Amino acid sequence: MSLEAHIRELETRHQRLEEQIDELLAHPSVDDLEIKKLKLEKLHLKEEIERLRKQVDAA
């Protein structure tokens, strides 16, 4: 898998997490711990995407 394809895959996962978080926040019985876990995972994905983009730009 090329680096660009891997970045696109991570961006898709990031978007899905965002949608999942929005969906959970729309319900009155929100599990704050689950939201926090998903947001942390989303942040890690964003950091990985940025790191990989820097590699692509440097190449």
CA–CA dist 18, 55 (Å, integer): 25
Domain that holds residue 15: 3-58
What pLDDT is recorded for position 19?
97
What pLDDT is recorded for position 11?
97
| Residues 53, 7 contacting (CB under 8 angstroms) | yes
Crossing angle of helices 32-58 and 3-25, rounded to 10°: 160
What pLDDT is recorded for position 38?
97
Confidence of residue 1 (pLDDT cuts 50, 70, 90): confident
Q: Please count the structural domains in the chain.
A: 1
The alpha carbon dihedral of 4, 10, 16, 22 has a sign of negative
Helix or strand run (H / E) with residue 30: none
Residue-wise pLDDT tens digits, 5-57: 999 999 999 999 999 999 999 988 888 999 999 999 999 999 999 999 999 89
Confidence of residue 4 (pLDDT cuts 50, 70, 90): very high
